[in-house]
Amino acid sequence: MIGARGFLAARVLLTIAVMLRCAMAPAQADPVWGALRDGDIVLFRHAQAPGIGDPPGMRLDDCKTQRNLDDTGRRQARRIGERFRERGIVVSAVVTSEWCRARETAALAFPAVRAQADSAFNAFFLDRSTEREQTERALARLLRWRGPGVLAVTTHQFNVSALAGIAPASGEGVVVRVRQGALTMVGTLPADAP
């Protein structure tokens, strides 16, 4: 016979088990998070940086000359990482555009992973002449991804659109997987969504 203490302990353990199962169920049932659990790729548009384009005289080596994340964008970037950690999704590599807003998004979202800047993911909003060449280089890099873990890329709206055919909002992720030498879109991770 179980005493009052034993009954209480069993009830607490059962409650914890149910809470854990409920917390994990959405990640397991959601195909987007499931794909990330399998070690696919997520292409993020950088977090919120008010404005459009960059100011005249913008230089890649000077963040003060660029359009940068605001406080909302910084919170948004941190929340991206929290969502991954809450679900136990391992990000093993991070690639960014050379723009400061993309690099800061990556650093705040995935501080434990050293990001690598790659000009293939740089913005071509103001100079569309490089779009094809950059997209080909970016695609080649993505097609080589074999894991383990997730490859997270922080880039720009036009770059994600060229690679995945979708125009993401600031901080939104587009999950893709490599299948038979091509990228297949799995779904999106809306910005700031649980």
What lies within 8 Å, CB to CB, of 27 at 6+ separation is: 33, 34, 37, 87, 88
- What SS3 state is found at 118? coil
**CA 165 to the chain's CA centroid:** 17
Structure confidence at residue 54 as a pLDDT band (50, 70, 90) = confident
Residue 13 has a pLDDT of: 37
Say if strands 91-96 and 150-155 run parallel, antiparallel, or are unpaired.
parallel
Percent of the chain at pLDDT > 90 equals 69
CATH code: domain 30-189 is 3.40.50.1240
Each residue of 88-134: pLDDT tens digit?
999 999 999 999 999 999 999 999 999 999 999 999 876 778 899 99
- Sequence spans of domains, the chain: 30-189
The model carries a pTM of: 0.82
Query: What's the mean pLDDT when you consider all of the chain?
Result: 85
Predicted confidence (pLDDT) at residue 25 exceeds the cutoff of 50 = no
Arithmetic mean of pLDDT, 161-177: 95
Sheet holding 150-155, edge to edge: 116-117, 91-96, 150-155, 41-45, 173-179, 182-189
Q: What are the residues facing 96 on neighbouring strands?
A: 117, 154
- Burial class for 131, CB neighbours closer than 10 Å (0-12, 13-18, 19+): middle
Structure confidence at residue 29 as a pLDDT band (50, 70, 90) = low
